[in-house]
Amino acid sequence: MTTDQATQTLNPRVAEVFSDMLEAVATVIQKRSVTYEEYREVGGFLEEVAKQGELPLLMDVFLGVVVDDANYTANGGTESNVEGPFYIPDAPILQPPYALPRRGNEPGEPLVMSGTVRGLDGKPLTGAMLDMWQANGAGEYSHFHPGVPEFNMRGRFTTDSEGRFEVRTVVPAAYEIPKQGPTGRLLNALGRQFFRPAHLHVKLSHPSYQSLTTQIYFEGDAYLHSDVAGAVKDELVVALQKDDARSNGEQQALDSPSYTCSCSFVLQPQA
């Protein structure tokens, strides 16, 4: 490929954004009188971030929330939230009764998440798709943590004729940014804590409505107000109910839920 061809393949918007980013970096270099040594050290740091595969993580810890904010307009629908670096497309399409794929000994308490998907006018949406992914009860994401099977805790399912859904999963743990890598070293140097509160990710789609990428958090989580990614929005925090009837009674079958949470999503019509 010639240089000319290579230039042509770059999305022009991305080229413009990059040009603005370079201008912003140039301002910082001037403001801080950055030396050659420091300039090379920043380059070496970024090289290590890329070598360790942490570029999406680094960007999402520090900038994901800015991208979400820049694209969000309040208009009555459920609030969007950061996608994060752990989304994998084409998760398995689940068959009812829905349960995210998981191992028999999956870390985490059983959880049943249920709710509705509606349009802005309150109309229940039949056949809305929820593409859901999450960490397990040990804070591990499949495809990113060694030893976790492909598409573990990831799946797609749809709402019924009344816009309702119910899916079995496990309560996720708070997610800790890896401490050993360059992103962790930077957080340490900046005096920041390493955790995101426990959360569920979901992308919602329906042919007649705008797609929505968001997250669900749980009341009482220790990291709601100190999220390392700064992404928590009050509207997205729900109660995690302990289901005592099932968790301490004789109904304690292996797969019976011990927690429930309820989430209602509202989608905006296509523009």
184 binding ligand BEZ? (CB under 6 A): no
State how far the alpha carbon of 172 is from the alpha carbons of 33, 49, 221, 250, 255, in Å.
45, 27, 11, 25, 16
**Most distant CA atoms of the chain, gap in Å:** 71
Q: How far is the CB of 82 from ligand BEZ (least distance, A)?
A: 5
Of 264, 211, 237, nearest to 87 by C-alpha is 211
Stretch that binds ligand BEZ, among 84-92, 163-171, 184-192, 204-212 (CB under 6 A): 84-92
Q: Give the one entry of ligand BEZ, Fe ion, none that residue 61 binds, where binding means its C-beta sits below a cut-off of 5 to 8 angstroms depending on kind.
A: ligand BEZ
Among residues 162, 112, 154, the alpha carbon closest in space to that of 131 is found at 154
Residues 57-86 that bind Fe ion (CB under 5 A): 84
Do the beta carbons of residue 235 and residue 251 sit within 8 Å? no
Q: Which stretch binds ligand BEZ (CB under 6 A): 5-13, 53-61, 96-104, 145-153?
A: 53-61
Q: Smallest distance, Å, CB 3 to Fe ion? A: 39
CA distance 181 to 91: 28
Which of these, 201, 125, 196, lies nearest to 165 by C-alpha position? 125
Residue 223: CB atoms within 10 Å:
19
Segment lying near ligand BEZ (by CB under 6 A), choices 3-11, 56-64, 162-170, 204-212: 56-64
Query: Of ligand BEZ, Fe ion, none, which one does residue 267 interact with (CB within 5 to 8 Å by kind)?
Result: none
Q: Which two tokens stand for residue 106?
A: 């999956």
- Give helix 55-62 / helix 36-51 axis angle, nearest 10°: 110
Q: What is the DSSP letter of 234?
A: G
Q: Which is nearer to ligand BEZ, 85 or 184 (CB)?
A: 85
| CA–CA dist 125, 267 (Å, integer) | 9
Q: Which is nearer to ligand BEZ, 120 or 238 (CB)?
A: 238
Span of 83-91, 102-110, 164-172, 245-253 interacting with ligand BEZ by CB under 6 A:
83-91
Residue 155 binds what, of ligand BEZ, Fe ion, none (CB under 5 to 8 Å, by partner type)?
none
Question: Smallest distance, Å, CB 55 to ligand BEZ?
Answer: 12
Q: In this chain, which of 77, 78, 80, 82 binds ligand BEZ, going by CB under 6 A?
A: 82
> For ligand BEZ, how many residues bind (rule: CB under 6 A)?
11
> What is the binding site for ligand BEZ (CB under 6 A)?
57, 60-61, 64, 82, 84-86, 175, 196, 229
> What is the binding site for Fe ion (CB under 5 A)?
84
